[in-house]
Amino acid sequence: MLSHPAGDVSLFEPGHPDLPPAAEVVLAWARSYLCRPHPDLGRGGDVCPYTALSLERGGLFLAVHPGRPDLRAVMTAYRDWFPELPPRAWPAARYRTVLVVLPDVPPGEIDRAQRELKPGFVERGLMIGEFHPGPPSAQGLWNADFRPMRSPLPLLAVRHMVAADAPFLRSDPEQLAAYRRRFGDRGAHR
């Protein structure tokens, strides 16, 4: 287990012997859903092209916050801690991922927190994604009828922004500008 220097949040690695049950559920879902192709995805490959590599390279971490925590405070702590987490050397660090499981937070609150927090994450070169039993409102990029953000428990995910993230940022000029400062127009064709 990794503990934040300020002691306010902590993270579990997938093989930790005391992995909380909610984290076990999410980890099993990540392996069986995110790390696998899906017939409704609309493209080849895994549902999430980064999760399997994150697991393989020791960069996936899980946290569980039961009850109704202050989502801004919790997620800001993870956002600020994220650059210090292992692995720190590139390219392995590119696949660092934090899944913050929030089992008692309603889907609407998860969606609202993601929308409100996203600009501060994007400005730092990070993405924050919302997952919940839903049904999630976010549609698939390759199949509008597919809802890829469905998960067994509510959670917010944090990872590095990558060039392929342009479609997730196109609706907000400030977020798209932050993307372009990092990647130029590399992902504009998407």
Structural domain harbouring 91: 2-183
For 109-127, how does the pLDDT look when each residue is reduced to its tens digit (9 = 90+)?
A: 999 999 999 999 999 999 9
Count the domains in the chain: 1
Residue 190, in any domain of the structure:
no
| Confidence band for 164, pLDDT divided at 50, 70 and 90 | confident
- CB-CB neighbours of 145 under 10 Å: 8
Question: What's the pLDDT tens digit per position in 137-147?
Answer: 787 888 888 88
Residue 109 pLDDT: 97
Residue 146, SS3 per DSSP? coil
Count Cβ atoms within 10 A of the Cβ of residue 13 and give its class: 0-12 exposed, 13-18 middle, 19 or more buried.
middle
| Overall pTM > 0.85 | yes
* Residue 161 in domain: yes
- How does pLDDT run across 63-81, given as a tens digit for each residue? 999 999 999 999 999 999 9
Residue 188 maps to a domain: no
3 state DSSP class of 65: coil
